[in-house]
A and B are shown apart, each in its own frame.
Chain A
């Protein structure tokens, strides 16, 4: 069942069109991540779901109930949507102790005292912060405050938990720790989670599905694996992956059942069957080859076509990044282990057509997936 549905949601800030007809269905129990650069509308979408912002167009349905309808101006208040939110700044009430912060929502719901005590205890133990229950937020470290904020959001057992860049204020080590903590929480609670981040590693490691936002639009919704291996557009391809994907201009020529793709890396012969539906029928068309740095292997001998010269090599512990150059185009190669190359050395690249994405250059759409 769909837990949350957004249908053609539009949102303006003044003249600024921040959400442009967003459509999305989030299933029950999913860990859905909104990923995108800052200012792309992901937090706005989250706030529309929470009910803190009202959409100017479209419909929001939560747990089968209409939560917002811009047509009839029917808006359900945030408290009645059966969800809770973890803010980027945590937004802990500074005048309340940890216990009072977490108990607040239950008090608002007029739950009997003993039940409150029991529920708060459970939430605090789940987040492993029972020992801080009588402290004030200012007496806690950033990581502990984060745990309180999450405890406060889950104590009322909401059907949906929204998280707005919750880890961005933590240092690198704590962030890793909290990441696995969130994954555990999702497993234990089974709650539908909607998570906003601009950190792709966070998105790829945590989510069951990822929605990629660009300029107020969702351009791709997919599992982390699919998103990484087969980005739907050039824009997504450039955004996902670090080091970045190599994008190399090419010319494709159709002949019979085969397509030959010519680029600075030589010619590749690919069967037409491997291409997607909106494959151009012209005899010759422009394309862009997408190759992940880890999918290129390096040989010491090879044909003249596959030769490149090395610009720099950067050792990064367990792997080496090689920056090479051919005809003015930079190519990044990731090799496991330590490679000893000097700048100016010639190496030969070994590519498999299975590992190559091909995009149309005119629309930027992916038309050949990786196998």
Chain B
């Protein structure tokens, strides 16, 4: 009896595709997320060879040396407390500013009679397509002054005296990040506003409440969960962001915790870098936990959709209409057109800082190498290194997006079919972990995990069970796939949720085996969802700099990295050209994504 039970249980387990997929995904996630986390911790406790010698301890001994050094030593202030204070200050300011901008824009777009809505609805999210570091580059081009930048920025050229605090440092960083990050708030809050039934507000009006009273007492509490959600997103993004503070802070020695992490790594202080990573991860987790507690009790609001699908009544802006419209146009101009225009203009300038017509050239685009410009570096489009990098980037982006989107669908399948089951919850939580870890720390984690081969010893033999991946294409794909897993699996889950279980059960009752069900039912129905998941990841990875900056080697570089290294190498025009080409690719992909999701609507799924 016992034997039959056992046999049937084993048979059952392996015959059930759900459990097989679960086991595979679970062990992969364990290896790719939890093990690297452990690796970071281990490395933060293990002395390097030189440090061990200096401290008179054996190599590989465990000690709190790096923790002590970072938290309470002569360098703590410079290495931890100051950068941490900077990061927190920046993250809080950016969150407040971008939530104000985003929520206001959302309200104006959804609930008022603002003109040109069609134009604004596209223009408002364009800033998000331009990577934050491109905007940082544009900022520098406009505001830099000859004292620090070496050459004059646009405003200096026109004769304005630009003080250092405006050109570089916290204010520049906060403004650039806010202009970038308000898109999260805008998207979340406008979705929430759209789902709030206007009848709820009309009820307030009937009760005799004033506009302002309704806005603050009815509308605002209803969208508060989405605002808090936007806060979590913005805060973690700003806290972990590397590229913008690197562009705008390092020149004046203004460090944030993420730039400090990178510089520690560059100087070979791996132990210290790992401790900093852990600090970053802890702050991000804390932020999310606190906010989940806050949102948790109020979450139920989000689903209030109401049946009133009739056209919403719009608040009339009255005499403010023209003023607000112009304000929006100016904002869009400053956030989108200006940075792009500056980048384009600068890419045609032979000498930086000279905005005259006779200074214009196509050299940095298509010129042949000339000895007196940048040591004979040819124009970007003629540079074989560039062609190589484009190929490499596209290869990386395609490989990552396909793998990530596929994994997302599988995770989505487990999530949607395992709803309420322990296994489903487990995967759901695990997949979320990479989201907690700031990109730069995530890169550091993978560096420490995969820079050396994994071995274990059996007697005299050493078995190499996992090769060193440092400098390989595989590592870049791996890190990008795992870091994007929260996004791809969210899109995959949403996609799979749309496909009712009954559609699959109907096939099951008809006698279709798992693979047949996948091939004939699930896959055809998830095609469009797969494509939009793919495009989402594609765009994310294309722009990505923070995540891979410490993993990239000169042979394996990507377009953002190329732009970054040109910039730090002092040849800004090359950097501008590369950034513009990258932006063009992203923009085209956005356009295609828009097309695809439009088709999405017409395909009526179950």
Interface residues as binary, A200-214 with B (CB distance below 8 Å gives 1, 0 otherwise)? 000000000000000
Q: Would B505 and A93 count as touching, CB distance under 8 A?
A: no
Interface residues as binary, B568-606 with A (CB distance below 8 Å gives 1, 0 otherwise)? 000000000000000000000000000000000001111
Q: Of residues 26 to 80 in A, which have CB atoms within 8 Å of B's CB atoms?
A: 50-52, 71-75, 77-80
Chain A residue numbers with a CB within 8 Å of B516 are 108
**How many A residues touch B, CB cutoff 8 Å?**
29
Decide if B172 is an interface residue (CB 8 Å cutoff).
Answer: no
Chain B residue numbers with a CB within 8 Å of A91 are 500, 502-503, 505-506, 606
A94 in contact with B505 given A72-B8, A84-B510 (CB within 8 Å): no
Query: How far is the CB of B464 from the nearest CB of chain A, in Å?
Result: 42
Chain B residue numbers with a CB within 8 Å of A74 are 4, 8
Q: Would A72 and B1 count as touching, CB distance under 8 A?
A: yes
Q: Would B505 and A80 count as touching, CB distance under 8 A?
A: no
What does DSSP make chain B's interface, helix, strand, loop or mixed? helix
Q: Would B5 and A87 count as touching, CB distance under 8 A?
A: no
Decide if A85 is an interface residue (CB 8 Å cutoff).
Answer: yes
Among B94-102, B296-304, B434-442, B518-526, the stretch that binds chain A is B518-526
Q: Of residues 189 to 238 in B, which have CB atoms within 8 Å of A's CB atoms?
A: none
Decide if A156 is an interface residue (CB 8 Å cutoff).
Answer: yes
Decide if A239 is an interface residue (CB 8 Å cutoff).
Answer: no
Q: How far is the CA of A73 from the CA of B4 in the complex (A)?
A: 8
Chain B residue numbers with a CB within 8 Å of A156 are 510
Decide if B12 is an interface residue (CB 8 Å cutoff).
Answer: yes
Decide if B511 is an interface residue (CB 8 Å cutoff).
Answer: yes
Query: How far is the CB of A164 from the nearest CB of chain B, in Å?
Result: 9
Q: Would A72 and B4 count as touching, CB distance under 8 A?
A: yes
Query: How far is the CB of A297 from the nearest CB of chain B, in Å?
Result: 47
Q: Of residues 90 to 134 in A, which have CB atoms within 8 Å of B's CB atoms?
A: 91, 93-95, 104-105, 108-109
Query: How far is the CB of A79 from the nearest CB of chain B, in Å?
Result: 3
Chain A residue numbers with a CB within 8 Å of B12 are 73, 75
Decide if B509 is an interface residue (CB 8 Å cutoff).
Answer: yes
Decide if B155 is an interface residue (CB 8 Å cutoff).
Answer: no
Q: Would A109 and B506 count as touching, CB distance under 8 A?
A: no
Closest to B605 in A: A94
Q: Would B508 and A104 count as touching, CB distance under 8 A?
A: no
Closest to A106 in B: B510
Q: How far is the CA of A105 from the CA of B507 in the complex (A)?
A: 7
Q: Would B510 and A94 count as touching, CB distance under 8 A?
A: no
Closest to A139 in B: B604
Interface residues as binary, B238-280 with A (CB distance below 8 Å gives 1, 0 otherwise)? 0000000000000000000000000000000000000000000
Q: How far is the CA of A89 from the CA of B502 in the complex (A)?
A: 8
Q: Would B520 and A104 count as touching, CB distance under 8 A?
A: yes
Chain A residue numbers with a CB within 8 Å of B8 are 72-75
Query: How far is the CB of B421 from the nearest CB of chain A, in Å?
Result: 10
Decide if A83 is an interface residue (CB 8 Å cutoff).
Answer: yes
Interface residues as binary, B487-514 with A (CB distance below 8 Å gives 1, 0 otherwise)? 0000000000000101101111111110
Decide if A138 is an interface residue (CB 8 Å cutoff).
Answer: yes
Chain B residue numbers with a CB within 8 Å of A87 are 502, 505-506
Q: Of residues 533 to 558 in B, which have CB atoms within 8 Å of A's CB atoms?
A: none
Decide if B68 is an interface residue (CB 8 Å cutoff).
Answer: no
A78 in contact with B508 given A72-B8, A91-B500, A108-B516 (CB within 8 Å): yes
Q: How far is the CA of A52 from the CA of B525 in the complex (A)?
A: 21
Decide if B9 is an interface residue (CB 8 Å cutoff).
Answer: yes
Q: Would A94 and B525 count as touching, CB distance under 8 A?
A: yes
A89 in contact with B500 given A73-B12, A95-B524, A104-B520 (CB within 8 Å): yes
Q: How far is the CA of A84 from the CA of B505 in the complex (A)?
A: 10
Q: Would A108 and B512 count as touching, CB distance under 8 A?
A: yes
Chain B residue numbers with a CB within 8 Å of A104 are 507, 510, 512, 520
Query: How far is the CB of A352 from the nearest CB of chain B, in Å?
Result: 50
Chain A residue numbers with a CB within 8 Å of B604 are 94, 138
Q: Would B512 and A93 count as touching, CB distance under 8 A?
A: no
Chain B residue numbers with a CB within 8 Å of A78 are 505, 508-509, 511
Closest to A100 in B: B520
Q: Would B509 and A50 count as touching, CB distance under 8 A?
A: yes
A80 in contact with B511 given A72-B1, A73-B5 (CB within 8 Å): yes
Query: How far is the CB of A55 from the nearest CB of chain B, in Å?
Result: 13
Q: Would A79 and B509 count as touching, CB distance under 8 A?
A: yes
Q: Would A93 and B506 count as touching, CB distance under 8 A?
A: yes
Query: How far is the CB of B228 from the nearest CB of chain A, in Å?
Result: 31
Chain A residue numbers with a CB within 8 Å of B503 are 91, 93
Q: How far is the CA of A120 from the CA of B445 in the complex (A)?
A: 58
Q: Would B506 and A52 count as touching, CB distance under 8 A?
A: no
Q: Would A108 and B509 count as touching, CB distance under 8 A?
A: no
Q: Would A79 and B500 count as touching, CB distance under 8 A?
A: no
Closest to B516 in A: A108
Interface residues as binary, A293-310 with B (CB distance below 8 Å gives 1, 0 otherwise)? 000000000000000000
Q: How far is the CA of A94 from the CA of B527 in the complex (A)?
A: 13
Q: How far is the CA of A84 from the CA of B512 in the complex (A)?
A: 12
Chain A residue numbers with a CB within 8 Å of B521 are 93
Q: How far is the CA of A173 from the CA of B571 in the complex (A)?
A: 77
Q: Would B509 and A85 count as touching, CB distance under 8 A?
A: yes
Query: How far is the CB of B94 from the nearest CB of chain A, in Å?
Result: 43
Chain A residue numbers with a CB within 8 Å of B513 are 79
Query: How far is the CB of A200 from the nearest CB of chain B, in Å?
Result: 25
Q: How far is the CA of A50 from the CA of B501 in the complex (A)?
A: 15
Chain A residue numbers with a CB within 8 Å of B603 are 94
Chain B residue numbers with a CB within 8 Å of A152 are 506
A52 interface neighbour in B500, B509, B510, Cβ under 8 Å: B509
The 9 closest A-B pairs by CB, nearest first: A79-B511, A105-B510, A91-B502, A73-B8, A91-B506, A138-B604, A95-B524, A78-B509, A87-B502
User: Could you list 16 examples of A-B contacts with CB < 8 Å?
Assistant: A50-B509, A72-B5, A74-B8, A77-B508, A77-B511, A78-B505, A78-B508, A87-B506, A91-B606, A93-B506, A93-B521, A95-B524, A95-B525, A104-B512, A105-B511, A108-B511
Residues of A whose CB lies within 8 Å of any CB of B are 14, 50-52, 71-75, 77-80, 83-85, 87, 89, 91, 93-95, 104-105, 108-109, 138, 152, 156
Known: A73-B4, A78-B511, A108-B507. 12 other contacts (CB 8 A): A74-B4, A75-B8, A77-B511, A79-B510, A80-B511, A85-B506, A93-B506, A94-B525, A95-B525, A108-B512, A108-B516, A152-B506
